[in-house]
């Protein structure tokens, strides 16, 4: 037997053994996913294909039924048995409804589960537990204009007034072009829910009835690109031919939806993309897909699909006059990791994403030989009446992350707190205060 034939033989045998790791259903249907169009249009199917490849399946392909925004991803075992995974992408809300009526095994959502949905799904277990709530990617809502529109930046306050229909013309916000034409996702969309939560609701605004609504992200983006007076909001991979503008929230600097700012969730309209898997689920394919999405290979697929992966990298930060001197010094001598640790609402405990990120940060530190005094933690917080209290709380948050790193053999260089300085969101709303309570990781 030649070496090449031997390798093929061994590889085929390994694939067969690996494919047997997950059960092959008799009727072929292994998994049903419903929910977010942002995830279901491309990212979800791409992750499914990655899992099927990892399971050693052959002839992997997609089939599109007659119903819009639905598809099947199909693979085949060496013995000719079909494995079918169905994806229906009609909006995040539909995913939670499908879990409730048992027409889906896994919900894809481009927003966090609502309290009402959590309560309705209580019989399935705690959907907020770390095993159930899986952050699979980070996305940024891009505010898009026609490429010919000269406007460069907007505040979230201006956005709210524009999409509520209170600002009627481009000239009212420093642009040109006459009447503003609004484009928005439909009511089932997690993209719309996120925009409503981050921009409209806490300012007491509602979306104007004049907005043109779309189920498809691609169609919305193309419509804005074709309309010189158009403005819309969309997930990052769907900017396409449109122009994205920089966004400021409260006292934050205006930020473009850049990968580095979205990865750290500093960009004001950054958001998390989720898989929600009932903790009592016995569907091994659902469990395997959630695990695969968190793996390095899964996160590479996230990046290839146009979203922002959670893979930890080091990035240089240019110092500027708006930074406190101690932070400027840090940026001159160290690099910042592309992750921020954040905390569960009303708690000093790390949230579910932070728990996942902890393992990624530890892996980065150990792989790069930075376990001995090469890591500095920097804490930030929201505005307090007493600045000294804000400083103390920001350092205590950094100390909470320090404890977890020390448990795993990391000796830190320094732990610092900068209080309420350098906000990334407005402190006038709960969502903004939660974003401002963060811990950065810097490495030398």
Question: What is the residue whose two structure tokens read 């983006």?
Answer: 221
Burial of 186 (0-12, 13-18, 19+ CB in 10 A): middle
**pLDDT at 188 (0 to 100):** 87
Mean pLDDT, range 237-243, rounded to an integer:
95
Mean pLDDT, range 274-294, rounded to an integer:
96
Q: Which residue has the higher pLDDT, 55 or 280?
A: 55
**pLDDT at 12 (0 to 100):** 36
**pLDDT at 345 (0 to 100):** 77
Ordered structural domains, the chain, with CATH: 3-136+273-304 (3.40.190.10), 139-263 (3.40.190.10), 312-443 (3.30.1330.60)
Beta carbons of 259 and 157 less than 8 angstroms apart: no
Token pair in block for residue 338? 């592309």
**pLDDT at 15 (0 to 100):** 37
Alpha-carbon torsion 256, 259, 263, 264, what sign?
negative
**pLDDT at 1 (0 to 100):** 38
Supply the DSSP symbol for 253.
Answer: P
**pLDDT at 193 (0 to 100):** 87
Mean pLDDT, range 128-134, rounded to an integer:
95
Binned at pLDDT 50, 70 and 90, residue 219 comes out as very high
Global pTM?
A: 0.84
**pLDDT at 283 (0 to 100):** 96
Binned at pLDDT 50, 70 and 90, residue 429 comes out as confident
Mean pLDDT value across the chain: 92
Burial of 120 (0-12, 13-18, 19+ CB in 10 A): middle
Poorest-pLDDT segment among 185-189, 282-286, 334-338 = 185-189
* Each residue's pLDDT tens digit, 353-409: 999 999 999 999 999 999 999 999 999 998 888 888 889 999 999 999 999 999 999
Cα separation of 399 and 409, whole Å? 15
Checking if the pLDDT of 202 tops 80, the result is no
Burial of 212 (0-12, 13-18, 19+ CB in 10 A): middle
Mean pLDDT, range 75-88, rounded to an integer:
96
**Number of alpha carbons in the 13 Å side-chain half-sphere of residue 325:** 0
Mean pLDDT, range 4-22, rounded to an integer:
42
Poorest-pLDDT segment among 35-39, 251-255, 260-264 = 251-255
Cα separation of 218 and 238, whole Å? 6
- Which distant-in-sequence residues (6+ apart) come within 8 Å of 152 by Cβ? 245, 246
How far is C-alpha 335 from the geometric centre of its chain's CA atoms?
23
Percent share of the chain, pLDDT over 90 = 82
**pLDDT at 136 (0 to 100):** 98
**pLDDT at 221 (0 to 100):** 97
**pLDDT at 298 (0 to 100):** 98
Mean pLDDT, range 318-337, rounded to an integer:
95
**pLDDT at 3 (0 to 100):** 36
Checking if the pLDDT of 222 tops 90, the result is yes
């Amino acid at each position: 037997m030649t070496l090449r034939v031997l390798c093929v033989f061994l590889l085929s045998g390994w694939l067969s053994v690996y494919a047997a790791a997950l059960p092959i259903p008799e009727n072929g249907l292994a998994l049903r996913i419903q929910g977010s169009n942002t995830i279901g249009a491309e990212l979800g199917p791409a992750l499914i294909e990655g899992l099927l490849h990892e399971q050693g399946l052959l002839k992997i392909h997609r089939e599109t039924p007659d119903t819009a925004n639905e598809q099947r991803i199909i693979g085949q075992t060496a013995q000719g048995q079909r494995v079918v995974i169905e994806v229906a992408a009609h909006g995040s809300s539909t995913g939670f409804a499908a879990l409730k009526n048992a027409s889906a095994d896994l919900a894809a959502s481009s927003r966090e589960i609502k309290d009402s949905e959590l309560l309705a799904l209580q019989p399935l277990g705690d959907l907020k537990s770390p095993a159930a709530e899986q952050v699979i990617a980070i996305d940024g809502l891009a505010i898009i204009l026609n490429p010919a529109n000269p406007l460069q930046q907007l505040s979230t306050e201006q956005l709210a007034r524009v999409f509520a229909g209170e600002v009627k013309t481009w000239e009212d916000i420093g642009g040109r072009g006459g009447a503003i034409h609004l484009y928005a996702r439909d009511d089932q969309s997690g993209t719309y829910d996120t925009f409503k939560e981050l921009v409209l609701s806490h300012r007491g605004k509602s979306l104007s009835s004049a907005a043109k609504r779309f189920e498809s992200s691609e169609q919305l983006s193309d419509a804005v690109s074709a309309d010189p007076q158009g403005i819309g909001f969309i997930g990052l991979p769907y900017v396409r031919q449109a122009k994205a503008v920089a966004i400021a929230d409260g006292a934050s600097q205006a930020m473009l939806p850049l990968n580095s700012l979205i990865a750290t969730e500093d960009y004001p309209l950054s958001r998390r993309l989720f898989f929600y898997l009932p903790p009592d689920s016995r569907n091994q394919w659902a469990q395997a897909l959630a695990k695969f999405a968190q793996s390095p290979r899964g996160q590479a697929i996230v990046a290839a699909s146009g979203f922002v992966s959670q893979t930890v990298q080091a990035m240089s930060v240019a110092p500027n006059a708006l930074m406190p001197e101690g932070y400027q010094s840090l940026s001159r001598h160290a690099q910042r990791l592309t992750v921020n640790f954040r905390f569960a609402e009303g708690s000093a405990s790390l949230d579910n994403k932070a728990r996942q990120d902890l393992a990624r940060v530890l892996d980065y530190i150990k792989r790069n030989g930075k376990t001995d005094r090469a890591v500095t933690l920097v804490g930030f917080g929201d505005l307090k009446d007493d600045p000294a209290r804000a400083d103390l709380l920001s350092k205590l948050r950094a100390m909470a992350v320090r404890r977890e790193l020390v448990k795993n053999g990391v000796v830190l260089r320094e732990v610092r707190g900068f209080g309420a300085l350098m906000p990334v969101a407005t402190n006038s709303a709960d969502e903004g205060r939660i974003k401002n309570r963060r811990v950065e990781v810097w490495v030398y």
